């Protein structure tokens, strides 16, 4: 166990805050086990408590608030109903506090956007991710991709389709962005419409899978792309 008073004699407050956070995460990781019904969801209570202590020491440290927000998000991830809503409300409030303290941090804006998507505030989520991308254009495609995944998980297929397209537009020729084409193609397949007894695929569907193969011919989804192209070509 860490002794805050002892450390305070030899370390800066920021160091103490990070030590407390690390201790909380370490204890949290040890709390994960196996139950009769399967794996036990991680309990982030200790990490949250440690971060709250860190904030008491360094209340104007934006990283402490951002880390607290992320811990609340992780705590909510495995929950439903009020058990989900409570931690997510606290997460959003902590993200806003971190942004108030440091409005130019792209990572916090991006993570805040993903949290907003989790609570189905899709328009606000898009605004935050685009703020992050204005601050750091190098990570634009990955932020749009992560947003699209979060939207798709929540059943917001139309919004996810737009976000995957934005991910593609941000880095259309980057092999690291091949997955955006694959996921975009899958969404287009799911949105194919029946007409006169057969399905009509949307424009760009086959091309998305082809572009994945162009960028990542040996990628993990290459076989799936080839199968989709063959199947769609027979419709």
CATH number of the domain within which 69 lies:
1.25.40.10
Choosing from 83, 103, 123, the residue where a domain stops is 103
Asked if 92 and 189 sit in the same domain, the reply is: no
Last residue of a domain, one of 103, 121, 146: 103
Domain final position from 103, 126, 149 = 103
- Domain extent at residue 228: 176-235
pTM of the shown model: 0.83
Residue 6 has pLDDT above 50, yes or no: no
* pLDDT class of 46 with cuts at 50, 70, 90: confident
**Average pLDDT value over all residues in the chain:** 87
Task: Write the DSSP assignment of 1-55 as a string of letters.
Answer: ---HHHHHTTS-HHHHHHHHHHHHHHHHHHT--EETTEEPPP--HHHHHHHHHHH
**pLDDT (tens digit, 9 = 90+) per residue, 93-143?**
999 999 999 999 999 999 999 999 999 999 999 999 999 999 999 999 999
Judged against a pLDDT cut of 60, whether residue 8 lies above it is answered with no
Domain presence at residue 159: no
218 domain residue, yes or no: yes
Percent of the chain surpassing pLDDT 70: 82
Report the number of distinct structural domains present in the chain. 2
In a domain, 149, yes or no: no
């Amino acid at each position: 166990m860490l002794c805050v008073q002892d450390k305070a004699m030899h370390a800066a407050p920021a160091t103490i805050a990070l030590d407390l956070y690390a201790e909380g995460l370490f204890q949290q990781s040890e709390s994960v086990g196996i139950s009769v019904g399967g794996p036990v969801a991680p309990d982030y209570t200790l990490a949250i408590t440690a971060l709250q202590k860190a904030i008491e020491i360094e209340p104007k440290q934006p990283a402490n608030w951002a880390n607290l927000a992320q811990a609340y998000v992780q705590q909510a991830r495995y929950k439903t109903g009020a058990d989900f809503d409570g931690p997510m409300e606290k997460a959003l409030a902590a993200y806003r506090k971190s942004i108030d303290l440091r409005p130019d941090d792209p990572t916090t804006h991006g993570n805040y956007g993903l949290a907003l998507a989790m609570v189905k505030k899709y328009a606000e989520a898009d605004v935050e991710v685009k703020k992050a991308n204005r601050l750091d254009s190098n990570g634009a495609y990955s932020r749009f991709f992560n947003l699209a995944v979060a939207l798709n998980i929540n059943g917001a297929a139309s919004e996810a389709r737009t976000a995957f397209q934005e991910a593609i537009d941000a880095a259309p020729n980057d092999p690291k962005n091949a997955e955006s084409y694959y996921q975009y193609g899958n969404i287009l397949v799911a949105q194919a419409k029946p007409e006169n007894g057969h399905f009509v695929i949307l424009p760009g569907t086959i091309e998305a899978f082809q572009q994945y193969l162009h960028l990542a011919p040996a990628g993990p989804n290459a076989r799936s792309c080839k199968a989709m192209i063959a199947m769609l070509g027979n419709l």
